[in-house]
Amino acid sequence: MVDRFFQHLNKFVEVTEEEFQEITNYVEVITLRKKECIMSAGKICDANYFVLSGCLHMFFTDEKGVEKTLQFAIENWWLSDAQALYHQKETEFNIQAIEASEVLVIKANKEKELLERFPKLEVYFRSIYQIAYGAALKRMQYIFSFSKEEIFFRFRDEFPEFVNRVPQYLIATFLGLTPEYLSKLRAK
């Protein structure tokens, strides 16, 4: 399964088999059960997570006790609270497995060592963060530009892998909809 990470790295930078074997010394692979949390609000964010298999979501709980999904991550996606990780602060977010998942974990201190040992991975992570930033901007554009109905249909058309894997209520919170309204849209 870690071969997935090797292939992903090589989409952005050239990493030899020998280098990759050394890189694996800086990471850990863990298995999560469905609904298991890997990061919890109020705790120091000390790791970055790469999905080898499965699906995760990052969320917070609002003042009414309602969970609001901020991000999803499926195979080959990274997920973490980048600000809290960078500053080694408490996160306000949770990361939970939507389905049984296998996740590569790189702790903040190990990531620093890894980047010192393999400076070319700075290019890799910069590319990943640029893609994530672009996706966040696109989501904001959708929120400001489209009706709730248009947002759902665009999301469905651009990301069918999520619509087929993620429970409807989580998609609803991600898109700022109620589950009931989303159910009506899906029926159309």
Rounded CA separation 73/38 (Å)? 13
Distance CA 159, CA 66 (A): 24
Question: Which two tokens mark 70?
Answer: 């901020």
- Give me the DSSP letters along 139-179: HHHHHHHS-HHHHHHHHHHH-HHHHHHS-HHHHHHHHT--H
State the Cα–Cα distance between residues 22 and 15, nearest whole angstrom: 11
Burial level of 62, CB count in 10 A (0-12/13-18/19+)? exposed
| Residue 147: Cβ within 10 Å count | 8
Structure tokens, 61: 């709980």
Residue in the structure block whose two tokens are 């899906």: 186
Tens place of pLDDT per residue across the chain (188 aa): 789 999 999 999 999 999 999 999 999 999 999 999 999 999 999 999 999 999 999 999 999 998 999 999 999 999 999 999 999 999 999 999 999 999 999 999 999 999 999 999 999 999 999 999 998 998 889 889 999 889 988 988 988 888 888 998 999 999 988 888 888 887 77
pLDDT at 11: 96
**In whole angstroms, what is the distance from residue 168 CA to residue 182 CA?**
7
C-alpha angle 46/51/55, rounded to 5°?
110
Distance CA 174, CA 149 (A): 13
102 is written with which tokens?
């296998």
Q: What is the dihedral of CA 67, 85, 132, 30, to 10 degrees?
A: -80
CA 54 to chain centre: 11
**Whole-structure pTM value:** 0.92
